[in-house]
Amino acid sequence: MSDGVAAVSKFLTWSVVDGPGNRFVLFLQGCNYRCVTCHNPHTIGVCSDCGTCVAVCPSGALSRTSRKVVHDPGVCIACDSCLAACPTRANPMVRRMTVEDVLVLLRRNAPFLNGLTVSGGEATLQLDFLIDLFTAIRAAPELAHLTLFIDSNGHLPVDGWRRVLALTDGVMLDIKAFDADRHRRLTGVDNDLSLASARLLATVGKLHELRFLLIPGETDRPEEIAALAALARELGPQTRLRLNAFQQHGVRGPAAGWPKMPRDGLEAAAVALRAAGIAEVAVPSVWLP
């Protein structure tokens, strides 16, 4: 979607876990990864208007009109039955938002905000909208204090990054795995673009944070931790690492039965990374039981 309009899965008027300070977060619909461990799988696909969700909606918030699924937020009870039923991992509650729609919300909340983070799904799949939005914010004096961040898996060619780098203050980049076969098995795609993105963003000073999800038996292996440390050293001493722990909440498919990442395993990885010379290694401050 383009022409100043985005498919938005949801938005948060404030968040303290999606970048520095208090942030407005825009979650765009659609992803070029198919991560088996995704805890927001309903942001992956695009609605095919099959109507499966209409049949399970208890409030009548979903209907089909002219072969299109239509969502009425006025009667929606946010039970998420539609998300669980969707065969394409899509969100029938997606809203079409213009740049001006987002600006109105930002102006309303601006006194309480430090910035905007555009996430997903995968934010860069709607790159034209992202550029239009950031350009409009830069031109608005009342929003000049907001920092503009992108949360991305990095699956974007260099030419795409060059279009947006001058507009963004930083990118929070996810590396899913280093072993190529493991990455394909976990995400469905190769990791060459993500690794290239990390190097490019670090070179131009736009890599705010490198994020890595620890999955027991998969990405917590010593060779994965060693590869993460090697990349962080290559990117430079300013590199921030954030380790996240795999949890089953929201996960669909076989990975929903995988074990959670234990706290001691996460802390052991952090210790190993610091011992390898990585100064900034963050771990979750709140632990889900």
Q: Summarize pLDDT for 104-155 with one digit per residue, the tens.
A: 999 999 999 999 999 999 999 999 999 999 999 999 999 999 999 999 999 9
With a pLDDT cut of 70, the percent of the chain lying above it is 98
Does residue 1 register a pLDDT over 90?
no
pLDDT at 80: 86
Question: pLDDT value at position 93?
Answer: 86
Given a cut of 90, whether residue 224 has pLDDT beyond it is yes
- For residue 91, the Cα-to-chain-centroid distance in whole angstroms is 15
User: What is the model's pLDDT at position 68?
Assistant: 86
- Domain locations along the chain: 5-43+95-282, 52-85
Span 184-212, average pLDDT:
98
Per-residue pLDDT band for 2 (boundaries 50, 70, 90) equals: low
pLDDT band at 4 (very low <50, low <70, confident <90, very high): confident
Report whether pLDDT(288) > 80: no
138-152, 186-200, 249-263: segment of lowest average pLDDT: 249-263
Helix (H) or strand (E) segment spanning residue 52: helix 52-56
Backbone dihedral region of 253: left (phi > 0), alpha (psi from -120 to 50 degrees) or beta? left
In 3D, which of 237, 249, 258, 242 has the Cα closest to residue 172?
A: 242
Please tell us whether the domain made up of 52-85 is placed in CATH 3.30.70.20.
Answer: yes
pLDDT at 74: 85
- 35 pLDDT above the threshold of 90: yes
What residues pair up with 25 in beta bridges, in sequence order? 12, 117
Q: How far apart are CA 252 and CA 66, in angstroms?
A: 31
Asked whether 246 and 212 are in contact (CB, 8 A), the reply is no
Lowest mean pLDDT among 49-53, 136-140, 267-271: 49-53
Could you tell me the pLDDT band of residue 286, with boundaries at 50, 70 and 90? low
Residue type, 274: R
pLDDT score of 289 more than 60: no
User: What is the mean predicted confidence (pLDDT) over 81-86?
Assistant: 86
pTM of the model: 0.93
pLDDT band at 48 (very low <50, low <70, confident <90, very high): confident
> Is-same-fold flag (5-43+95-282; 52-85)?
no
Phi, psi for residue 62 in degrees, rounded to 5: -115, 135
> What's the confidence (pLDDT) of residue 221?
97
**pLDDT: which is higher, 284 or 25:** 25
| DSSP SS3 for 138 | helix
Q: 5-43+95-282 falls under which CATH superfamily?
A: Aldolase class I (3.20.20.70)
- Residue 259 pLDDT > 60: yes
Residues 6+ apart with CB under 8 A from 109: 13, 14, 24
Rounded to whole angstroms, how far apart are CA atoms 95 and 113?
23
pLDDT (average), residues 161-187: 98
